[in-house]
Structure 1
């Protein structure tokens, strides 16, 4: 598992985890924000009128209403990114990472407006009469290159195919594997339910929903999304209000650490500016998917007579998903203080590294060495050899890092009993084939961290049930929506006949991921996000003039539809 994760991490480092990807993502959003004169602020109130059906016309073609398209797309974005992703971003980069998540959402509102508009404009009817759309369709029709001799090179066809393949991969890396993985971990943490049992039961429910197609998916998500949002909101407000004295310091840390990096606090050994920026933007994209090209697939099915109105509906997604829900999660984690607190937990092998020698957190020099090691600024020697264990206690224990913190009170277990014997390590990792687990106090991340944070309120231990139920509903609805995205990509590549085989594989993958290592799943998700996002951003940038023209035409019609009203147009 460590070798697989290391290999995936190298790939992720070149694409999704690289600085150029972050700048491409934010740069595209900033370009359209300025080019279209800040539509995310000027047009937001008009989006609400369109969602309520005020701009509809009789005979508008599509499979779903504006509200159903919005909730389907929201169910695809409101998931582990809001619960586990925020916790992971803060764990890696400190409070400043939340700031960059919010910046990503603000510019992402414009990006989503553009990609949904262009995709809706070029949607088609599938063989079964349903509406099929998404970035691959505008790519195929509009991104071809015409030479001087009028010969056309079908670059759009190949770019669309690349995007469709990436969508299928991302349906597993974004909407499938990390969702059930986080659900299973949360259910185990809260109720002690076996990971395989959770995966098996939910796989059956998933199959029952997705076999019904977009109409059944839209019907389910339009009911799930409002309920789960209310439940989560109540639980989050309870934690923040309970820890009211930490609200101002938390906000100060979010803003104050942006240009200085997050200082060491508790078990947290510090985060650099670059690390907070990169992880905040990366997790922000995972949360709201602006620029990834997934939401346009859901919005393409909406009943609308012209594309910009549906693009305006999509403006609401990053606002609800990241600016509201992720901010709530971030304040819960920061105000409760659990982000820098060492908590008893079972160690995951890919989050653990054993160093040669001992390093003390009370020694400032050694503490800085550990921080530089975790921030990849400095190498430290790793332990290779044999460690003796007696009744669960490691004799002459070297420094063990788990979840980017110095582990304390480490115990070794075998079959739920304290272990006595020896353990073998190579380059800081347990060698394969040893049936032992380690536990102790360390920092936590992802869904388990948010789960602990929700217990720091008047609800006490009952607070973790809010996270577990919320995560179950959030993540399960995300898996439902992404099955539709992947199915539309399969339709584009192979026709409608290939969808049933894709859905079978999707359900099987959903089950298997319920007991797969969390860190590997998150690394894979970062890669698949980038594989979708890059061709989509190139595509919408190429069509910027067409987008501006569509917006002008829309406001002319809006003025005719609502005479005397402020059009908000260009």
Structure 2
């Protein structure tokens, strides 16, 4: 077991620290330039389509509204990456890491845009008369049958990753939070969470999207209001916090308090890595949700899809980072979720702890729902619709196991398979980029 763990650590470090960061950032930059900075120029248009797109959605095909598709994809990304990921980036890379998270998000918007465009452009209708899509479908239908094996590879890696990052890790986080908050036994949390998740996923994408539509905006608003309250109380420190992010991005961060210091490369490495982990741009997960959206044009869903990266990283991660910086908690030596919790507790004594803990629980719950849907879509691509009920039963059993088990090995496997599922998706995005460029330019030319 120790040998396996050591080997997975080496593979994970190699993939995420070198190859994957270059591939993800390079693909995003290529798409950004090829689209003529479209995601940045059309950000306002994207928000307009999010709210007025219902008119177009009525004329289109699909199971859920564009807004519901966005909330479903966000439910899988907002959470651990925003709360724990920002804390980790600050602890290891210093304030400058946040600048590189922003850069990652700006190029990641183009990646998410392209993923959503291709997901709608090449989606299919399955045996249940449901719209299905995602990287495995735009690989098969966009690149041709000879590339189907690549879509199959994506689906296999995604199913394995789903049981890690989208299942056992989430139930374990909720169980730990409930144990610390009210002393609830881990197995009780696992059982309750499994029952609730099973009730929702039985209803398919419509019920999952309905829950996401309710939970994600609610928890997002509560979290942002809490952050704004802290920033309002420390408003004199906000300009200095922002200035430090920019200064340290270009000069590194000196050791101070409990912080050991970090050079420019550490800021780049941890900012990019945590940014990509937070918004999942290029991973290939979000397009499976966007493929189910009711829309009459792939580009219209693409501009909605790219908002996920903006909201996740530019808005929520920035709020978290500024809270940590303005309260001075980042110098404490804490890291991850503990650092974010300490910052909220200092800035908002009393309810601060509850905001972070409640946020982790709600976001973890919604993440398990969305990743169950992603896992189903991948399994359906591999084996058809007949095994979906078996998958759902296994999914909730894994939730109960994850709540009480030690997950070090699971985390390592999930990290590796997440990188491996991104590679087929990035290959497809690059090869199909002429399609994305052509239909985008044609749409906006009208």
Shift of 1:118: 0.9
SS at match of 2:295: coil
Q: 2:47, 2:61 → 1: CA distance?
A: 20
Instruction: Report Cα offsets for 1:9-57 as digits up to 9, x if no partner.
Output: 11101212x2231111111111111111111221112212322244506
1:312 to 280, 303, 308: 303
Under a length normalisation based on structure 1, what TM-score does the superposition of the two structures give?
A: 0.74
Cα 1:473–1:125 change in 2 (3 A) is same
Q: What is the alpha-carbon root mean square deviation over aligned residues?
A: 2.0
Q: 1:281, 1:155 → 2: CA distance?
A: 34
2:167 to 176, 184, 209: 176
1:467 to 356, 379, 392: 356
SS at match of 1:256: helix
Q: 1:5, 1:89 → 2: CA distance?
A: 23
Q: 2:335, 2:57 → 1: CA distance?
A: 48
Under a length normalisation based on structure 2, what TM-score does the superposition of the two structures give?
A: 0.94
Q: Which has the higher strand share?
A: 1
1:50–1:309 contact (8 Å) kept in structure 2 = yes
Q: 1:489, 1:221 → 2: CA distance?
A: 20
2:250–2:264 contact (8 Å) kept in structure 1 = yes
Structure 1: runs of 5+ lacking an equivalent: 145-153, 342-442, 560-570
Q: 2:229, 2:57 → 1: CA distance?
A: 43
Instruction: Report Cα offsets for 1:419-469 as digits up to 9, x if no partner.
Output: xxxxxxxxxxxxxxxxxxxxxxxx332222222221112x41331011111
Structure 1 residue aligned with 2:82: 82
Structure 2 residue aligned with 1:109: 109
Q: 1:305, 1:51 → 2: CA distance?
A: 14
Higher RCO (C-alpha 8 Å, min separation 6): 2
Shift of 1:518: 6.6
2:192 maps to 1:201: yes
2:112 maps to 1:222: no
- How many residues matched? 445
Shift of 1:84: 1.3
Q: 1:468, 1:312 → 2: CA distance?
A: 32
Cα 1:316–1:171 change in 2 (3 A) is same
SS at match of 1:270: coil
Structure 1 residue aligned with 2:158: 167
Structure 1 residue aligned with 2:68: 68
Q: 2:12, 2:278 → 1: CA distance?
A: 17
The equivalences for 1:426-437 within 5 A come to: none
Structure 2 residue aligned with 1:535: 424
Q: 2:72, 2:135 → 1: CA distance?
A: 17
2:58–2:295 contact (8 Å) kept in structure 1 = no
Q: Which has the higher helix share?
A: 2
Q: 1:95, 1:516 → 2: CA distance?
A: 34
2:373 maps to 1:484: yes
The equivalences for 1:162-561 within 5 A come to: 162-341=153-332, 443-457=333-347, 459-517=348-406, 522-556=411-445, 559=446
328-337 or 515-524, which moves further after superposition? 515-524
Instruction: Report Cα offsets for 1:461-497 as digits up to 9, x if no partner.
Output: 3310111111111121111111101100000001111
1:80–1:178 contact (8 Å) kept in structure 2 = no
Q: Which has the larger radius of gyration?
A: 1
Q: 1:252, 1:118 → 2: CA distance?
A: 39
Q: 1:282, 1:172 → 2: CA distance?
A: 21
Instruction: Report Cα offsets for 1:208-233 as digits up to 9, x if no partner.
Output: 11121001111111111111111101
Shift of 1:191: 3.3
Shift of 1:194: 3.2
Structure 2: runs of 5+ lacking an equivalent: none
Q: 1:454, 1:518 → 2: CA distance?
A: 27
Q: 2:437, 2:317 → 1: CA distance?
A: 31
Shift of 1:519: 5.8
Cα 1:177–1:248 change in 2 (3 A) is farther
Structure 2 residue aligned with 1:48: 47
Cα 1:339–1:4 change in 2 (3 A) is farther
Structure 2 residue aligned with 1:122: 122
